[in-house]
Amino acid sequence: MRSASQCLAAAIGLALASAAWAQSPAPASGQVPIPRSAFLSVMDAEFARMDADKNKIVTRAEIEQAQRAAAAAQAQTVSRALFARLDTDKNGQLSPAEFAKLQVTASQPNAAPVLAQGDLNKDGSITLVEYRTAKLANFDRTDTDKDGIVSPAEMKAAGLVK
């Protein structure tokens, strides 16, 4: 379950990886300011990834489908790392004894937190306008000096980074 600040932090994390930041050197802290326009681009891309039928509305089923895909990718990454760790003799195979140490649990999709945050009219789906409204409210709350950029200091003040 993601809170509004976790969603904002995830979007900020995606924004940090964006090529928009490639032109400017990062401060010594490793964090960079985030312009509202770049945040909006990342947010729209996140919405588009969830909008499977591309009708500019995200439904519970689409959110759950996106969550399942993300969980599957995460589980695959975890499985590969576990295999590498459990293959103690590094022969590319797991013996029954090595395999017995493997324990992976997948999380169940839960669209409720996304819908609670973004479904402003409570109709069970999220339009792009609703999605933007909810996400931008978080951005605007974090942008305390209202300059259209979330600075590292503002991220810290909001508790998004240490």
CATH number of the domain where residue 111 is located: 1.10.238.10
| Confidence (pLDDT) at 105 | 80
Residue 117 located in a structural domain: yes
Residue by residue, DSSP assigns 31-82 as ---EEHHHHHHHHHHHHHHH-TT-SSEEEHHHHHHHHHHHHHHHHHHHHHHH
Give me the mean pLDDT over the 115-136 stretch. 95
Q: Which residues pair with 58 in a beta bridge?
A: 126
Residue 25 located in a structural domain: no
Residue with tokens 């973004």: 118
pLDDT over 80 at 1, yes or no: no
65-103 pLDDT tens trace: 999 999 999 999 988 888 898 999 999 998 998 888 777
pTM of the complete model: 0.50
Give me the mean pLDDT over the 124-146 stretch. 95
7-62 pLDDT tens trace: 444 444 444 434 333 344 555 556 889 999 999 999 999 999 999 999 999 999 99
Between 27 and 105, the more confident residue is 105
| Confidence (pLDDT) at 98 | 85
Range of the domain at 105: 4-19+30-157
Domain count, the chain: 1
Model confidence at 106, pLDDT cuts 50, 70, 90, reads confident
Residue 162 located in a structural domain: no
